[in-house]
Every structure is written in C-alpha cells, then in structure tokens.
C-alpha cells in the first residue's frame, strides 16, 4: 500500500506539472491530441494484443497520439488502486480498462462514467453483441462500457508428459479425481499445482467453488437468496484447502506459474485462457510452446459444460481530457477489425458475434464453441459477480486463509462479506 501511495503521489504530481508546462509553453494543442489509455495489459500475450489494436488506432486516427498508461500486475488489482486515486483527484485518464459487470458499479454510482448509449446507437452495437452481455453491462437502461473480448476463467492447463509419468491418462473431470491426481503427481517429485500471487488464489477459489457446488448453486451465491453458511459451501472450502495443500511455492504472477507447467516442472495450473496466448505466442510476447505437447487444457475439475466468463471493456470517464480521442479508441475497441486483431494474440474470443471465426484456432476454436453451448457462470476475481468492495473482502479472507488454513474462519469471512455487500 505504501508503494501504491508513492506511485499515486508521483503520478498526480507529474500530471499536475505536465498541465502547467503545457500552458506555459503554449503546447495545449499538442497535449489535447494525446489519448491516455489506462489498462493493466503489460504481460506477454496481452501487451501483444494491445499493440495490434493500437496500430489500427494509429492508422485510422492519425490526429491522435496513443499514450499507453498501462500498470503492471495480473488481474489489474494494482491498476485499479491507482485508477481510484486518479478518479478521486478528478484527474481521469481519457479511457480505462475495466471488467464488464459488477466491477464497474462503484464508478457508475459515483458518477465517474458517461453513458455510452450514443455510441451503441451510432455503431449499432446491440445488433452485434450477445444480448446477455449487453444486459450485464447495462444499468437502468444505460450502457457504460465497450467490451472488447470474452475470456474463460475456468480452464485447467496441464502438461501431458508430467501426467503420463504420474500414471494419469487424461485430465481429471471431477474434484475427487483432481485431488487424487494431485497426490499421484506429488509422488513423482514434480509440483502438483502451480500458483501465482494472491489474486490467483481467488481465481482458483472460484473454479473450486463452481466445481464443488455445481453451476446453479454457485450462481445463486451472488443473489439475494444466497447462503454462504451451508454445509455444501463448507465441503467446497474443504476441497479448496486440500487442493491448496498440493500447491508449489507461489510465483510473482500468473505467467511464471503457467510457465512451470509448460516447462514440465509442474502438472497443473488453473488460470484463465489468456494463458493460451502466453503459451503459444513466440518470444518475446510468449514462450513459444506447442499445444497438446508442451501444454493442454480442459475445463477445470467439476465444471465441464460451464463457461465461467469475464469480459475486458473500456469506458468513457466524465471529464476525460481528450473526450474525442477516447471515443475514437472506443470505436476501435468495438470494431470487428480491432477485436479480430486483438483477441487471437490476447488468447480470448471476440465479444462481437460477427468476428472472423477462421482466425480462432486450436484452443480459441474450442472456446468459441463452448461459449455458444455451455451454461454460464460469472467470475469472482474478474469483476462479473462481485463489486470491488465484495471482491476485496473475499481477497482479504483468502489471504488470511493462506496463512492459517482455517476453513471455519474462511467461511465466516465469506458469510460476512456477502452480508456487507447487501446480499
């Protein structure tokens, strides 16, 4: 938190100095053309996708200069902390990345975002986006973000050779099979399950909850009829404790944890499908591994037939310094060309229904088919089902659990978090 505070202070100071310099030097016109795009896409795969979309933006809108304000850190936890400080100081970027769904509710209620209904009307986006997605990003008839993709959270990545050496013939389909297979891998001396920083443990929790409870019960946890105190949730959390007991040393972020699987040092990793872009893209954007040889995938245990989804989107903050430039960026993010350039590199599928399906091969072809046919469940960590306050409370509870391994205390904390959220 101290580091974030220092970063925020430095950023706001630089921002204030920059504005003063523009006025003093008469450079206001040049500064106006800059479009500050705030995201957390700095890692391999995701930065490649952003670069591809940025190139389209430069070609279509040469009057604007793209300014990459990306903040490092998988899942965007650090970026959101910094963004909150900028918005509170009334120094918004021109546009910022956010997860479609509950994550944006705080910004909307705080009056920090403009409605984008005008852009949806102009571009006829309601005709090319799935209705369920439009519903999810609408609040009282107003739409506040442009989704650029669809990601799947509940993916089990595994190394076929490590599984074979452990006597495992196929990816586990149930939670019981998964726990048994983790034990088999441990006997070989390899890491059964690789994990990253703390947010990856919340990511893991959502898959274990869904795989243990079933999709319908999991979805009910995020409604007014939720019951986090029942015995089924207790069992799911016991499963989570058991799964974590097989985890290796936490890595700095999701990429090095995923790399442990691709390099044959670990058997399993549960991570979103952005890992696919990282696995298969050549260096420097990825690690250039071969699908079905160095890595393979399946639905996370117990969730076959369920697509746990999230969507990256961009917004239009009120008071954006370069509103016209922000709208130009939103048009690229919403476009067929932009999404088809971005998503194959990012390791995601397009939010648009009219994308060029020939561009989406291997894992991405599978994901497109699954998105069209599976039941849907929303991600916790990635902003679909829980607003920032609720998600932060869950993250804190998981952090404490990582230290004390007390299932009862974890469940009590989750019950309290749900009550505090209004559920």
Determine the average pLDDT of the residues in 255-261. 97
pTM of the model: 0.82
The region, left, alpha or beta by phi > 0 then psi within -120 to 50, assigned to residue 75 is left
List, for residues 199-251, the tens digit of each pLDDT value. 999 999 999 999 999 999 999 999 888 999 999 999 999 999 999 999 999 99
Question: Tens of pLDDT along 368-405?
Answer: 999 888 888 999 999 999 988 999 999 999 999 999 99
> Given a cut of 50, is residue 26 above it in pLDDT?
no
33-150+311-368 homologous superfamily:
Periplasmic binding protein-like II (3.40.190.10)
SS3 sequence, the chain? Answer: CHHHHHHHHHHHHHHHHHHHHHHHHCCHHHHHHEEEEECCCCCCCHHHHHHHHHHHHHHHCCCCEEEECCCCCHHHHHHHHHHHHHHHCCCCCCEEEEECCHHHHHHHHCCCECCCHHHHHHHCHHHCCCHHHHHHCEECCEECCEECCEEECCEEEECHHHHHHCCCCCCCCCHHHHHHHHHHHHHHCCEEECCCCHHHHHHHHHHHHHHHHCHHHHHHCCCCCCCCCCHHHHHHHHHHHHHHCCECCCCCCHHHHHHHHHCCCEEEEECCCHHHHHHHCCCCCCCCCCECCCEEEEECCCCCCEEEEECEEECCECCCCCHHHHHHHHHHHHCHHHHHHHHHHHCCECCCCCCCHHHCCCHHHHHHHHHHHCEEEECCCCCCCCCHHHHHHHHHHHHHHHHHCCHHHHHHHHHHHHHHCCC
pLDDT tops 50 at residue 280? yes
pLDDT of amino acid 134: 85
Res 3 pLDDT > 50: no
Same fold, 33-150+311-368 and 152-308+380-420: yes
Domain ranges of the chain: 33-150+311-368, 152-308+380-420
Contact 48, 345 (CB under 8 A): yes
Q: Is 59 exposed, middle or buried (0-12, 13-18, 19+ CB in 10 A)?
A: exposed
- CA atoms of 132 and 45, how far apart (whole Å): 27
Q: What is the mean pLDDT of residues 111-140?
A: 90
Domain 152-308+380-420: state its class: alpha beta
Find residue 66's DSSP bridge partners: 35
* pLDDT at residue 75, as a whole number: 62
């Amino acid at each position: 938190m101290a580091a974030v505070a220092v970063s925020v202070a430095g950023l706001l100071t630089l921002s204030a100095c920059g504005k003063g310099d523009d006025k003093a030097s008469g450079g206001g016109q040049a500064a106006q053309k800059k479009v500050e795009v705030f995201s957390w896409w700095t890692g391999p795969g995701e930065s490649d996708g952003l670069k591809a979309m940025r190139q389209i933006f430069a070609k279509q809108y040469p009057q604007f200069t793209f300014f990459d304000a990306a903040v490092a850190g998988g899942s965007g936890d650090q970026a959101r902390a910094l963004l909150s400080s900028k918005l509170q100081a009334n120094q918004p970027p021109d546009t910022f990345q956010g997860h479609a769904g509950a994550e944006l509710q705080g910004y909307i209620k705080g009056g920090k975002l403009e409605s984008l209904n005008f852009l949806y009307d102009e571009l006829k986006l309601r005709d090319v986006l799935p209705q369920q997605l439009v519903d999810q990003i609408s609040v009282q008839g107003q739409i506040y973000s442009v989704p650029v993709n669809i990601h799947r959270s509940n993916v089990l990545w595994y190394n076929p050779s490590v599984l074979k050496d452990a006597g495992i013939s196929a990816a586990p389909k149930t939670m019981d099979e998964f726990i048994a297979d983790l034990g088999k891998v441990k006997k070989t001396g390899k890491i059964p399950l690789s994990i990253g920083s703390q947010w990856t443990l919340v990511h893991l929790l959502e898959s274990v909850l869904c795989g243990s409870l079933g999709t319908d019960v999991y979805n009910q946890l995020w409604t007014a009829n939720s019951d986090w105190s029942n015995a089924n949730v207790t069992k799911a959390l016991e499963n989570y404790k058991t799964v974590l007991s097989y985890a290796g040393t936490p890595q700095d972020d999701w990429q090095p944890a995923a790399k442990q699987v691709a390099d044959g040092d670990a058997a399993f990793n549960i991570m979103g499908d952005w890992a696919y872009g990282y696995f298969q893209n050549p260096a420097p954007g990825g690690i250039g591994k071969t699908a079905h040889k160095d890595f393979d995938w399946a639905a996370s245990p117990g969730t076959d037939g369920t697509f746990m989804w999230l969507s990256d989107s961009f917004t239009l903050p009120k008071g954006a310094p370069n509103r016209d430039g922000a709208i130009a960026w939103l048009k690229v993010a919403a476009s067929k060309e932009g999404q088809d350039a971005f998503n194959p590199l990012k390791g995601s599928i397009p939010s648009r229904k009219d994308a060029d399906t020939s561009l989406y091969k291997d894992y991405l072809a599978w994901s497109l088919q699954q998105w069209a046919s599976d039941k849907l469940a929303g991600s916790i960590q990635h902003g679909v089902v829980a607003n920032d306050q609720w998600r932060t409370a869950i993250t804190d509870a998981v952090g404490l659990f990582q230290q004390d391994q007390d299932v009862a205390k974890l469940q009590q904390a989750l019950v309290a978090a749900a009550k505090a959220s209004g559920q």
